Chain A
């Protein structure tokens, strides 16, 4: 079935370093969402990207949607210990469109930040 690959699985950085996680699909996506899950917590919505080539920023976080709408990235500038957690992309392929509103979640990237 449809898969969304996310890399890396794990990243360990020193506080202040940058971090990037990538999400890739073999098929064109209708839109993509990003969620953050703190250790022991539940996924929390961060942002949704819809348009080809779209770039959105939230403070130190920059989200991009590829021109072909098959990939996306999340970049964190100058990481802080509060950034620790697992970051998931969640894709909505066109053929899932309509009333179901189903998402396919990537496997996630666990970010560890050393003070």
Chain B
């Protein structure tokens, strides 16, 4: 059981280049999330999805787009990379509906370390 898998693990881009980060989960979770992690700022939500075909903006969505064409996959796109997007990107998923049970737990992938020069 792989859980949440992110590809690639590392990437270096030049300013203005585009790329797509892929997140795949095999737990049949409804909810998926993209976060970025920067030193001293914790995890900030970029976009999220509450089910196949849905996406919504999080706390820091500018410069990113997402798609969830299949339930198990959540793609994060950078159309024109900027140095400010240098960060570690984490994907997470949860079974979650409302409430406070185990479905509320978020499971994270190993992360993608992105540098934009």
Bound-complex Cα distance A1 to B58 (A) = 11
Residues in A11-70 with C-beta less than 8 Å from chain B: 30-31, 33, 41-45, 48, 50
B13 → A minimal CB distance (Å): 21
Q: Which segment, of B18-26, B63-71, B73-81, B96-104, faces chain A? A: B96-104
Q: How large is the interface on A (under 10, 10 to 19, 20 to 34, 35 or more residues)?
A: 20 to 34
Q: If the complex has contacts A42-B111, A101-B96, A102-B48, are A107 and B42 also in contact, measured as CB distance less than 8 A?
A: yes
A67 → B minimal CB distance (Å): 18
The count of A-to-B residue pairs whose CB atoms sit within 8 angstroms is 65
Asked whether any CB of chain A lies closer than 8 Å to the CB of B12, the reply is no
Q: How large is the interface on B (under 10, 10 to 19, 20 to 34, 35 or more residues)?
A: 20 to 34
The prevalent SS among residues of A at the interface is: loop
Asked whether any CB of chain A lies closer than 8 Å to the CB of B34, the reply is no
List chain A positions with a Cβ less than 8 A from chain B.
1, 6, 9, 30-31, 33, 41-45, 48, 50, 88, 90, 92, 97-103, 105-108
**Cross-chain pairs A/B with CB under 8 angstroms, 12 sampled:** A1-B59, A9-B40, A33-B106, A42-B109, A43-B106, A48-B100, A88-B42, A88-B43, A90-B106, A101-B31, A101-B96, A102-B48
